[in-house]
Structure 1
Amino acid sequence: MADVSPLQKARAEYSPKLPPVLAKCGPFVKCDDGAPTESVADQADVRAIFPLTYGAPVITFGRSRKTETQALKAAVILSGGQAPGGHNVIAGLFDGIKAYNAGCELYGFLGGPSGLIDNKHQLLTAEIIDAYRNTGGFDIIGSGRTKLETEQQFASVVKTCRTHGITAVVVIGGDDSNTNACMLAEYMERLARADTTQPRIQVLGVPKTIDGDLKNEQIEISFGFDTATKVYSELIGNIQRDANSAKKYYHFIKLMGRSASHITLECALQTHANIAIVSEEIAQKKQTLRDVVSEVATAVRNRAAAGMNFGVVLIPEGLIEFIPEIKALISELNDLLARTGTEFQALQNTDQKIQFVAGRLSTVTAAAFKSLPATIQTQLLMDRDPHGNVQVSRIETEKLLVEMVEAQLKEWKAAGAYKGKFSAQTHFFGYEGRCAAPSNFDADYCYSLGYCAAALVAAGKTGYMASVRNTAAPSTKWTAGGIPLTLMMNLERRHGENRPVIRKALVDLGGKPFAALAANRTQWANANEYLYPGPIQYFGPSEVCDRTTLTLALERG
């Protein structure tokens, strides 16, 4: 093993905690079934797409006794963007199947779903696993964004599994990746019923995303959110200290969160930043881009009147998709580019592409498109990700807001309505948090999710997501089980057509976390009540090193 830092060496000795049912019984659990389930929306359509896996009950693990077992072979892939704790999920899965039967084997497929399709793999051994326990990153086997959706891809996965004798596939990923897992599970069930001479292949999911938008009543938090928000909050606190020292800059900080503002909300609660924009509130109020700019500029003007020409503004990266006229524009752009992709890509330069698009949009969306700076227009036309989404992290929303706020302040100054100074710095905190060494919470939670997945494998389940609950309490009170992937499904517009996907969980504007922000944001905007969270602590008093996010504490505490 290569040289490691003193902290990594010390963290390797940390023993993650498990829910009591898994700590006492290992993977030998009984599955207590709840009532049959329905998808969150579009029930008839989702049932028609997933007839074999639809309607399964939520499972809660109960205690059982060890039984005679046969060795099995399982596969694991890391899918989508990195999140702290992925290595511990794999470690928990490895330890769980080895506890089930010491002869079990775990194959890690390299580079995400494409590794499973192309049979690029590594047999994971205890030596390999031990080197990655409690570490950040996905580098043990790598990740990727290939979307599993075609019959040809599914057939390739089957071929890979048959080659190695694999009878269980665990997909560690976010909503889109677990949508893939749901589709693959349905395919495998159909295959098993059509040919009973071949072993059945189970497919299970694990909830991963730092964005925090993969959650529901049973999935209380996606792994990585705890660590990432603590990393970002430390950085925001550092910048707040700097701003309050120099007293001359506004810092516009864009944070991860394409489809939901959970990260921005959590970081605002941890740091008391002066302004925190919540995309879901913008959408509910049907605010225009000009409205958002006016609110920020007004806060800047009010602070200037009190002698404060500095501050911190938090911006979710997906903000631009929540502004009604821009959301409509993006939706129309997605459909347009899906229909005319070849013709569009054949154009030689950016100006031609902008003119091509502007001439084919409806009157209202064309006006919205033309109102944006050329840099933002160009960024909206960049290649979509493999799931057909705009790559919003490439859209420099923070710079757009700075430019427009500055213009508004100049208008007010010319009219004698503003006398302050405005100088801005922009930041984007994204990759900084994705591969951090997991917090104690994420180390425990991820290991528990992996072990939970092993127990689902042992129980013969398929089409389920591992679920660990009561996570706002100490781990001695955690429970474990599984939630049907189909329960989270609805239909959404992708690549110009309706497709089944797991519904994202947006910020609940009626929930306690947002209420906490709403109750304090006027005071935070007009004063400097900054909190400085500091770096993640791994050792020391439990109230320092084992604390959860404020979002989880408020929602579940």
Structure 2
Amino acid sequence: MSISALQKERAKYQPKLPKSLKGNVKLVEGAKTESVADQKEIAELFPNTYGMPLITFEAADAAAEKQPVNVGVILSGGQAPGGHNVISGIFDGIKNIHPDSKLYGFLGGPGGLVDHKYMELTADIIDEYRNTGGFDIIGSGRTKLEEEAQFDKGLEIAKDLSLNALVIIGGDDSNTNACVLAEYYAKIDSGVQVIGCPKTIDGDLKNEMIETSFGFDTATKVYSELIGNIQRDANSAKKYWHFIKLMGRSASHIGLECALKTQPNITLISEEVAEKKQTLGEVVDYMAGIVANRAADGNNFGVALIPEGLIEFIPEMKVLISELNDLLAEGTESEKEFKMLKKSHRNEWVAGHLSETSSSVFSSLPSGIATQLTLDRDPHGNVQVSLIETEKLLGEMVKTRLDEMKEAGESAGKFGTQYHFFGYEGRCAAPSNFDADYCYSLGYTASVLISEGRTGYMASVRNTTAPADEWIAGGVPVTMMMNMEKRHGHMKPVIQKALVELEGAPYKYFVSKRGEWATGTEFVYPGPIQYFGPTEVCDQTTETLKLEQA
């Protein structure tokens, strides 16, 4: 296998660990926990894994003799930089517990567990993937572990391989399913533990105990390099507005972090749009106003960052999407009727089956965007927002608004647009030093939780703005993060998504600066991720974490 010069050097990098994980480890139990909301319902659904204590690790004087542990690992959902280091951390952790421990990887995500597709991960294989991006060591998948029949099939292979535990590396939905699996295996006294690890570049799996999800740091550094390059181009050519859509379906953490790193002229924050109940027209007016003001200063160029999920946060669009999700829900009569229509007749049919207000909004959209809203749903039954070209919708509408302003004598500048969507570019990048260290620590933490017989926990590593030596490793019960939400028409327990906090320090700092970034050209050019060099360049955390923990 050919590898690049960077890969060769990165293979030599030894990730840093918290002091508490470097030698013998003792487990310290903290306070009993309860779910963030709906305590009664969650407690009833998870009688075996609810109310467990928080756990932290401390250095111990002596180690108790441990038995070998056999562990299965699953990569679930979309890719995020650092997944290979979580697996490396698990491997090294269980080998440290006992050299005869074994690690098995289930292939292609949770489906590999159900279909009994797996491989043993040996030292030779692991060493090839240390500090590399991607999930290609075993592949990932989006099969949902929700049915007892699936759990039972998984248990068959777990028994065949003499597994003590499964580690599920995923986002909020994957870890919700991990918790349901942990509860089921505990209920039937299967002897198989389940541990989760917090993964998502979106940054929306975070709370008091999970300071950041892995991959967020690397992905936002990759996007910020690209945004910086575009800003330099815009400032050089001085003739285009670049509308950049950024991945992140439910929250604007990526957009906010990239804005803090690069200081663009416009950054839309979905949560703010929802809080202010802004209409699509008001968002367009805001953007057009900034474009016109810059044009008045002779600056017919700029950069706008747009979160992927923005349209779901605009109240009128949120109602429309909710109605469309119900109308086109899989297996319904209306969905079957819709699919039998000629494509050219579908939008008209949809408009006739919506409420009067939503029909009016739907009909006002450019036809291409309206069509994108009716495409096949994702596995959760929701509109696939990544397929909706929100950046082009806003670009077209801003142009129309500026033309109206020009006719009224309110604007005299030129407006040319370039469109970009940054998503896949960041998901499999070689992890930054922060993510390489953080992921390795998460994996190692999972191995200790397993050796201590815990189940229904998520690996937790905190105090992450300090040097890695001072990080605090431990475990948080997954039930602590849960609430009840409506999914597919039914109330289900799910991990509560963390949206951008409008009272939080990162957002408040952004608000204090965005006015000057809008009128001036205050661009920052972060450049590529640095893996070698001074600590202040190579090991820096996100701006979000710095501001949150300042």
* TM-score between the two structures when normalised by the length of structure 1: 0.96
Residue in 2 that maps onto 1:252: 243
Q: By how many angstroms is 1:303 displaced?
A: 0.3
Q: After superposition, what is the alpha-carbon deviation per residue over 1:74-103, rounded to whole angstroms, capped at 9, x for unaligned?
A: 100100000000000000000000111111
Q: By how many angstroms is 1:325 displaced?
A: 0.8
Q: By how many angstroms is 1:346 displaced?
A: 3.6
**1:39 corresponds to 2:55:** no
Amino acid at match of 1:433: G
**1:522 corresponds to 2:515:** yes
Pair 179,340 (structure 1): closer, same or farther in 2 beyond 3 Å: farther
Contact 1:334 / 1:496 at 8 angstroms: preserved in 2? no
Residue in 1 that maps onto 2:113: 116
| Cα distance in 2 between the residues matched to 1:337 and 1:75 | 38
Which of 388, 412, 416 is equivalent to 2:405? 412
Q: Aligned ranges for residues 100-249 of structure 1 at < 5 Å?
A: 100-192=97-189, 199-249=190-240
Residue in 1 that maps onto 2:370: 377
Amino acid at match of 1:551: T
Structure 1 SS opposite 2:228 = helix
Q: By how many angstroms is 1:359 displaced?
A: 2.6
| Cα distance in 2 between the residues matched to 1:132 and 1:422 | 46
Contact 2:164 / 2:191 at 8 angstroms: preserved in 1? yes
Structure 2 SS opposite 1:24 = coil
Contact 1:347 / 1:353 at 8 angstroms: preserved in 2? no
| Cα distance in 1 between the residues matched to 2:483 and 2:379 | 19
| Cα distance in 1 between the residues matched to 2:335 and 2:313 | 28
Which of 292, 302, 306 is equivalent to 1:301? 292
Contact 1:334 / 1:495 at 8 angstroms: preserved in 2? no
| Cα distance in 1 between the residues matched to 2:467 and 2:333 | 53
Structure 2 SS opposite 1:226 = helix
List runs of 5+ in structure 2 lacking aligned partners: none
| Cα distance in 2 between the residues matched to 1:364 and 1:49 | 39
Q: Aligned ranges for residues 459-478 of structure 1 at < 5 Å?
A: 459-478=452-471
Q: By how many angstroms is 1:390 displaced?
A: 2.0
The RMSD of aligned alpha carbons is: 1.2
Contact 1:337 / 1:344 at 8 angstroms: preserved in 2? no
Which of 283, 307, 315 is equivalent to 1:316? 307
Q: After superposition, what is the alpha-carbon deviation per residue over 1:109-148, rounded to whole angstroms, capped at 9, x for unaligned?
A: 0000001110111100000000000000000000001111
Amino acid at match of 1:363: E
**1:84 corresponds to 2:81:** yes
| Cα distance in 1 between the residues matched to 2:70 and 2:469 | 30
Q: Aligned ranges for residues 430-469 of structure 1 at < 5 Å?
A: 430-469=423-462
Contact 2:109 / 2:139 at 8 angstroms: preserved in 1? yes
Amino acid at match of 2:91: F
| Percent identical residues | 64
**1:56 corresponds to 2:52:** yes
Structure 1 SS opposite 2:188 = helix
Q: After superposition, what is the alpha-carbon deviation per residue over 1:320-377, rounded to whole angstroms, capped at 9, x for unaligned?
A: 1100011111122222222446514642433443334323322222222222222112
Amino acid at match of 1:312: V
Q: By how many angstroms is 1:388 displaced?
A: 2.4
Q: By how many angstroms is 1:6 displaced?
A: 0.6
Structure 2 SS opposite 1:177 = helix
List runs of 5+ in structure 1 lacking aligned partners: 193-198
| Cα distance in 1 between the residues matched to 2:202 and 2:355 | 32
| Cα distance in 1 between the residues matched to 2:397 and 2:116 | 50
Q: After superposition, what is the alpha-carbon deviation per residue over 1:397-446, rounded to whole angstroms, capped at 9, x for unaligned?
A: 00000000000001111111110000000000000000000000000000
Structure 2 SS opposite 1:144 = coil
**1:71 corresponds to 2:68:** yes
Amino acid at match of 1:149: E
Structure 1 SS opposite 2:328 = helix
Amino acid at match of 1:47: A
Which of 23, 30, 45 is equivalent to 2:26? 30
Residue in 2 that maps onto 1:195: none
Q: 505-514 vs 357-366, which deviates more? A: 357-366
Q: After superposition, what is the alpha-carbon deviation per residue over 1:147-176, rounded to whole angstroms, capped at 9, x for unaligned?
A: 111111111111121121112000000001
Amino acid at match of 1:279: S
Contact 2:185 / 2:192 at 8 angstroms: preserved in 1? yes
Q: By how many angstroms is 1:291 displaced?
A: 0.5
Q: After superposition, what is the alpha-carbon deviation per residue over 1:198-222, rounded to whole angstroms, capped at 9, x for unaligned?
A: x511001000000100000010000
